[in-house]
Amino acid sequence: DLADIGVTGLATMGRNLARNLARHGYAVAVHNRSYSRTQQLIKEFGGEGTFVPSEELAAFVASLKRPRRAIIMVKAGAGTDAVIDQLADLMEPGDMIVDGGNAHFQDTRRREAALRERGIHFVGTGISGGEEGALLGPSIMPGGSKESWEALGPILQDIAAQVDGVPCCVHVGPDGAGHFVKMVHNGIEYSDMQLIAESYDLLRQALGATPAELAEVFREWNRGDLDSYLIEITAEVLDQVDAETGKPFVDIVVDQAEQKGTGRWTVQSALDLGVPVTGIAEATFARALSGHPEQRAAAASLRGPKLSGVGGRELVEDVRQALYASKIVAYAQGFDQMAAASKEYGWDLDLGAMATIWRGGCIIRAKFLDRIRAAYDTDRALPTLLADPTFAAVLDAAQESWRRVITTAVRIGVPTPGFSSALAYYDGLRRDRLPAALVQGLRDYFGAHTYHRVDKEGVFHTDWSGDRAERPA
């Protein structure tokens, strides 16, 4: 019998995705470059459903029902191109190749265009939720054509996480839209984690609280507005004690944050699109700073303020407010980036739907996403989430705490780039007049770059090196 769908690449993610499909009653063709992984899957989990194993890729393709649906879950990068080429050579017009790896959206656009010429649907699909999500229900962000969505959508929605009966999977948009949205998801994940880390650091330094005490604080926060997967697991990690030394786990981990690159991609794309994603950028740079031990050692003798032990229990609530406000800013920026890309690449993204599919399965899943969805339900063309009345009220209520937290951090010398840049963004966006006017003046002075006037139409230049009179440019 032919399989409903296939998975090639059976490492952690692919294996669990194949099992998820089989557990939902689909007959799943399975293949991996080295056959041993395929055999192991069948040996360990063959009883979970119907698997159709193949040693060769040609046999794998031949084992699929037409139009064929094959999901690639291999290491992102050059390997993906090789597997796509091999698959495409074995396929026919109308067949579908789904790339579930973490591909760059521009690679996905390129691959989609090339395969479209051959009549094959290429569906770049973001999948979030890690190992457990792949098995129990991830958040799935497929791009690609409408036709491919018709054939794949029901299956993907079936195996995705479900929140209140709604699957965490929609057709995101054409070509690279799915991988773009997954990239921004990861960028937001970076900023979420950075803000959590700043909260922990500041409370620990200012109050002298222990990791175990702070675990309790995060557990408490998880019962309110901040209710989310990342806050929940922060409590777990802070509570962990190292078996060997008896020390808090966080104190035995080398303090250099690594990255696989999706945060960097998000910032690079934001620079191209001209969208200030300061929260994600600061988070990415904070990781980069942590990863320079030689500079940190050289700078370790630089003096900081003498102050310590400032603030009492009220700082805990202040930090909670600062975290919530900064998080709203970071998400607002990420959603702006999706809106800008949607315009640039003609994707027609439904931003409210993006908030909906991140409510479950993925790493940034949170109650808070319901509020973002509600904001876009009220106004699909909302220029910024900060202007949504609900969020505006939250920011207003939080801002005194937010400012106090940053003041405290500055006074005791604890870096809070996430909190600080988020507040700077808030203060920048709400200003009626920005010093950008002076920047324009300087640009006109040294480079005759011209400027607009507030009181009349037209483009102007002042003759700075001559009579300093203004002339229409």
- With b for 16 or more beta-carbon neighbours within 10 A and e for fewer, the 104-135 pattern comes to bbbbbbbbbeebeeeebbbbbbbbbbeeebbb
109 labelled as ligand-binding? Answer: no
| Cβ-contact 136, 365 below 8 angstroms | no
Q: H-helix or E-strand containing 51?
A: strand 51-53
Q: Least distance to ligand NDP from the beta carbon of 339, Å? A: 24
74 belongs to the binding site for ligand NDP (CB under 6 A): yes
Determine if 73 is a binding residue for ligand NDP (CB under 6 A).
Answer: yes
Q: Which of 49, 50, 30 is nearest to 40 (CA)?
A: 30
**What tokens were used for 348?**
């027609």
Report in angstroms how near the CB of residue 63 gets to ligand NDP at its nearest: 18
Please tell me whether residue 116 binds ligand NDP under the rule CB under 6 A: no
Helices (H), 312-386: 314-345, 351-357, 368-378
> By C-beta, is 127 or 325 nearer to ligand NDP?
127
Residue 76 as a binder of ligand NDP (CB under 6 A): the answer is: yes
Contact between 13 and ligand NDP (CB under 6 A)?
yes
Min CB(257)–ligand NDP separation in Å: 16
User: Is residue 115 within the footprint of ligand NDP (CB under 6 A)?
Assistant: no
Instruction: Please report whether residue 12 would count as binding ligand NDP according to CB under 6 A.
Output: yes
Is 12 assigned a ligand-binding role in the annotation? yes
The distance of closest approach from Cβ of residue 11 to ligand NDP in the complex, given in angstroms and rounded to an integer, is: 3
Touching ligand NDP, residues 83-112 (CB under 6 A) = 83, 101-102
Indicate which residue of 43, 92, 112, 189 is catalytic: 189
CA distance 31 to 100: 15
List the structure tokens of 323: 């975290």
For ligand NDP, which is the closer residue by CB, 127 or 207?
Answer: 127
* Cβ-based nearer residue to ligand NDP, 44 or 131: 131
Q: Would you call 182 a catalytic residue per the annotation? A: yes
How far is it, in rounded angstroms, from Cα 161 to Cα 129? 9
Query: CB-wise, 7 or 322, nearer to ligand NDP?
Result: 7
Q: Is 166 helix (H, G, I), strand (E, B) or coil?
A: strand
Q: Return the range that interacts with ligand NDP (CB under 6 A); candidates 5-13, 112-120, 155-163, 201-209.
A: 5-13
Q: How many CA atoms lie within 13 A of 400 on its CB side?
A: 3
Residue 61 contacts residue 91 (beta carbons within 8 Å): yes
| 112, 146, 182, 216: the active-site residue | 182
Alpha helices for 160-277 (secondary structure H) = 177-207, 211-221, 229-239, 249-252, 262-273
**Catalytic site residue 470?**
no
Among 62, 82, 253, 307, binds ligand NDP (CB under 6 A): 82
Listed in sequence order, the DSSP H helices in 27-104 are 35-45, 57-62, 78-90
Chain contacts with ligand NDP (rule: CB under 6 A): 9-14, 32-34, 37, 73-76, 79, 82-83, 101-102, 127-128, 130-131
Annotated binding site for NADP(+): 9-14, 32-34, 74-76, 102
Which residues are identified as catalytic? 182, 189
